[in-house]
Every structure is written in C-alpha cells, then in structure tokens.
Structure 1
Amino acid sequence: MRPRNLVILALLCAVVALAGPASAGPADVTVTSFSLDPPVLMKGDTGTLTVSIANHGATPVAVRSARLYGSGVVPLSEPYPSVGEIGAGINRTFTFTVRADGGEGTFYPTFVLDFRDGAGSLRYPIPVRVEDTPLSASVIGKPDAFSEGRTADITVRVGNPRPNAASGVQVIPQGSGFTATPTGAFIGALPTDGSGTVTFNLTPTAETDVTFQVVWHNGINTHTSDLVLPITFGEDKRQADPVITNIEVIPEAGRYRIVGDVMNVGLESARSVLVTPGAPATPTDPFRVYVIGTLDSDDVSSFEVTFKADAGVTEVPVVIEYRDDNGNRYTATRMVEVGGAAMPIEEQDGGIPIVGVIVAVVLALGIAGAIYYSWRRT
C-alpha cells in the first residue's frame, strides 16, 4: 500500500473513533398511545387526557417542555415547563386536564413536545369526541288509572344510548301530592346500549305530576335528565269488583239471617274479603263477620251473616270489604230489604221466647179457673 493511502486510512479511523456512537434525534421520539377519561365528553365536561411517548433511539433525547393547546376542547392544567432527558428505550406519560367548551363533534387538541438545542418539536393532534346525548327513561309499567290514596306500582326503565358507559345511575321521584317508596333507586353502571329498571310504590293524594329524575356520572361529571308522569284520577278497568247475588233473608228468633253469594267480576283478585251487615243493623253471633279470603277473577263464594234490626227498619246494607295486591282497602255495599220478611220474635234475657211466656200464663189461668170451678162445686 502506498504511504499516502495509509495516511488517509489512519485519518478516517481517527474521525470514526472521535465521533463515537450515533446520537438519537427527535425522529426517534413518537407518541405511542393516548387515552381520555371519560372516553366521550359532553358539553362542559371535564376529562383527563393522558399521552404516552417513547424514545426508540439508542441514546437519550433532551426535551425542554410538553404542552397541549387547542379550541373546542381546551387544557385546564399547566404545561410541563421542564421535562429533561428521555433515556433510550424509555416511555414517558403526560397528563392534562381538559374541558369541552365547544359544541358537539370531534376536536383535535395538539400535543407538543419541544426539544432542546434547536432540534425542533413533535406535534401530535389528538381526537376528542364530544356528544351531548343523555340517558333515556321511560315508564314501562303503571295502572290504567290512578285513585286517590291507592298505592300503585310504577316501573321505570333507564337506557344508555351514549357511545360510552355511564356510572352511578339512580332514579329519584320528585314533586308534591304523592308519596313514593323507595324515595330513590340505584341502578349503578350502564354500558353502551345497556338498560336497567326500577319500581316505585306510588300513592297519590292529589292529581299531580311526578318527575322521575335520572342522575348519572360521565367520568367525574354529574348529569341529570327528567321523565314527567302526569297523575290523573279515573276508574281502573282491571281492578277487582265483588258483587252480591242470590240474596235470601231468613227471620229467626230475635234476629235475621242473610245468605247469598259473592262473585268477583273484575279482572284482578280481591284479597282478604269480609262480609258484614252495616248500620242500622247490629251484627250478632254466630256470623257477625263472614270471612271469605281471596276471590280470583270470576270466582264465587257463598256467605251468611246474622244481625238484629229495630222495628221500622226496612232495609240494611251488606258490606263487602276487600284489598288489592298492594294492600289498598276497598268496600262495596248492597242494600237488602228486610221489611217483607216476617218480624222475628224477640227473646228474653233468659232465652225463653215471649210466646212461651204467654202460653204459660194462659195455661196457668186455665188451671186456676179449673181449680176454682171445682172448689165451688164442692
């Protein structure tokens, strides 16, 4: 080899030795992932945006600052003013608090990583979706009509049409002119397209509007939506309807006996059915109250009641008392004529009928007369 070539080769080796390994540059730092909690914001919501970066180079990269800026979705937290070096093969995360200040749509706040020594910056737009669709609520179970003081079951279904899950879902009945049990019901988390149901026992005291307020959380943000149910009084076409038929009035010693049948012509069951004579009748043993129990739709049961009534009473009420499935109490009355029946003969306190006393007196007078007549002839 020529001496000149040897010199050139030696110089090249020296340059390589002095240069050392290649340095990592901004091109080796990339955004590897990002996440938003909650995944979809509503207008005015606050969320947490997390950005992850990685240094894929062989040596550290010096970073001056990290920041986020944009419109529609704006940062609330301060930027990272001093980041320092990111080592080779190291991941780093940056977290920002953001708020949805614009309307609905997809916004792109930009994540910026500034490098030192004039090496430029990394800019990465991050899509953030804003959608104001609320949870939906509907009444899926209620009576045909409401009655004052009558407890009714109201079933409310809550659905989640949003593109992300909702948490802490609860339903709270609000308003006046009614009482509700429970005073609030908890459903919990609802995934996308999920639903849950709750049932309230509602007792109205006046015609009113009941507002079922649905409360839920989107991330750390609380939202509400209202479902209004008008309460108007009317006749429930399905409720139990006991009717008295086949009445027979039987006069007895010192009282009346009424026998007959009770039939439930309604569509719902009548429970705890009792039959009793009402004022001005005075119930007496053995059947002051006749207990029937439960009468299902189209069922029939016989009954009998016994009572006393003052002279001049021509009709008395026969009262049916019953309850529905919710324990509400109802009464139905049938007037029964008793004036056409023979008046019962009153009993004395000792239990001897008055007619017996009269017969005994007549017999005693006859015997006394016979004795007197026999004595006169003697």
Structure 2
Amino acid sequence: MKEEIIIMSALIVLSGFIAIELGFTTAIAELLAGMFIREFVSLRDVETIRVLADLGILTLMYVAGLEIDLDQLERRFKPSFVIGFSSFIFPFLLVFGLVHHVMGMTIRQSILISIALSTTSIALVYPILKQEGEMTDDKRMILSAAMITDLLSMAALGVFFTKNPELIIFLILGLFVFAKIFPFLGRRIFRYYRGNVAEFEFKIILLLILAVAVVSEKAGFESAIIAFLMGMITSEIVVQHENLEIKLRGIVFGFFAPIFFFWVGLSISIWDMINNLWFLSLFLIVCFSAKYIGTYLASRLFVPEKSGYIASLFNSRLSLGIVAAVFGYEFDIFGLEVYSAIIGAVILSSLLSAILCRAKLWVY
C-alpha cells in the first residue's frame, strides 16, 4: 500500500502543476491522472485510497456549503431556483425521450439514465468558481443554482430508487431541527473554545461530517448533498472563525479533494468507453446541448451577461452522475455498455465544460 500512496501523491502533485500551466481546474487534471494510472500501472490495494476519497467528497461538499450565504440565498432564491430547475428539467426530459421512445429502453432504465446525465456537480463547479478569484454575490448565486440542480437530481434518485423513503423523511426533519439548534449552541461552544490548542472546533466539524456519512448511508441518501447542506447550516458560525475556516480549506483542497478526483479517474476504463463510442457520443451530444440550452435560457432572465458562462459551467457533471451510473450497473438496471457510455459522457462533458469556461467560448 505504501507504493500506491506514493504513486498517487506524486501524480496528484504533477497533475496540479500541469493544470496550473495549462489553465485548467486541477480537479480535471487529477481525474485524468487517475485514468492514466489505471491503464498503465497495476495497483494491488486501493482500499485506503477509496476511504480517503469518500472523505474527500464529503469535506469538499461541506466547504462548498460554507460559501452559501443563507440570507443572500433567500434574497436571490428566485434566480437560483429558476436556473437550477431549468438546468435539470431540460436535459432530463430530452434524454428520457431519447432513451425511452427512440432507443426503446424501459421506464426504470430511462429515468436513471436521465438523472445521471442531468446533474451538475457542485464538486466541480465550486473549485472552478474559486480558482477564478473571490466569491462574489453572482458566484454565490451560481453556486446556489448548482445546488438546486443537484438537490433535484438527488431527490429524483431518492424518490424512484431508494429502499428507505421513510428514513429520508426523518433525515430531512433531523436537518431542519439541526438548523434551528446549531446556531444557538454552536456560537457559544465555538466562542468558548476559540484558539484552544486541542483544536476542539475543528474536531466538532470533522465529527459532524463523519456523522453525515453514517446517517446518509442508513437512509439511502447521497451523503455529499447532506454534507453540502450541513456546510450551509454551519456557515455563519464557521466563517466568523477565520482561522478555523482557513484550516478547513487547507486540508480539503490540499489533501482530501485531490484524492477524491484521483479515485474517480481510477474507477474509469478508457477502453470500455472506446468500445461503446456510439452510445457515448449520442448521450454526450444530447445531454450537453440540452443542459446548455436550458441553463442559457433561464440565465438570460437574470444575468444575461453571464448566461453563456453559466450554461457551460453547469455542464460539469461528475460525482452524482457517476453515483447514479454505478447504482444502475451494480443493481443490474442496465449493462456494461450503457454504464460505460454514461461514464464517458459525464467525463467528456465535464472536460468540454472546463475548456469552454477557460477559453471563454460563450454564446451570448
């Protein structure tokens, strides 16, 4: 395992240098590094990498949640919701029409494929926005809209495929209670232990994130979404403690998040995607164009000068799209050819999104 960790660490650092020089988000470079090592290096034991990657997506989503100003979200809820809803429903309906009515797949298969190809990954959107400078009001609105898209995707996945719908209800109620209690207790606890050598506040945050993973798994709900919501709930208190926020961001962006993106790449076979190029191309064209059009039209109503940029950015699919694809494959809802095509479309749409955002090839 020592060799695997050393190889992974070296490639993550190297991919970071390359990404900075080429002007891409490091997340994409780390993902490609994982795909490269899968094909050319034999890793015997990757369980430790998988565990660290699970922590990576949780901590990344939590820190992304810290960026959401709830007061501002309330003030700009309408544009966030309209853009987020449009970004989800356009590709969902068009992909569903393609796979069910044209390709003849079952309702269950069609719904799951549509969900997988309609997502927007906050795990990619957030680093891209962050790399472009300080988080402005418009950027927070964009992040909130991406959250709406992800929540709709997760809600659809939960409604159609969860085994424990009653547990999801309890989970949502629990989050509501936590949102009411934490600001009152957290503000007093964090103020009392502020600057303590034992880093008590930091330990509380890590405990909350780990608790999210356990409870979400029991409920059959995507833990990354709950981690994001937890970040939103605790944001007001954490942001007030500047040193704590700096420590959190350092350990997430310097350690956990790169391992998550590397792991995603490690789980993808280039040859499986090549062997199913027809499915992949069809999925990519439909899902990318549908999401671009849906997001662009909605964005024109509120931020017309950035509508092309938002439409390109929201084509960043990753974590939830892959989760939905893995779910369908592991539970025999569809076979390897469809699974590989979905994964390929998710990866390529994210790469194309990054290229368009970086090159500023937006349509106004």
Decide: shared fold, TM above 0.5: no
For normalisation by structure 1, the TM-score amounts to 0.16
Higher strand share: 1
For normalisation by structure 2, the TM-score amounts to 0.16
Higher helix share: 2
* Structure with more relative contact order (C-alpha pairs < 8 Å, separation 6 or more): 2
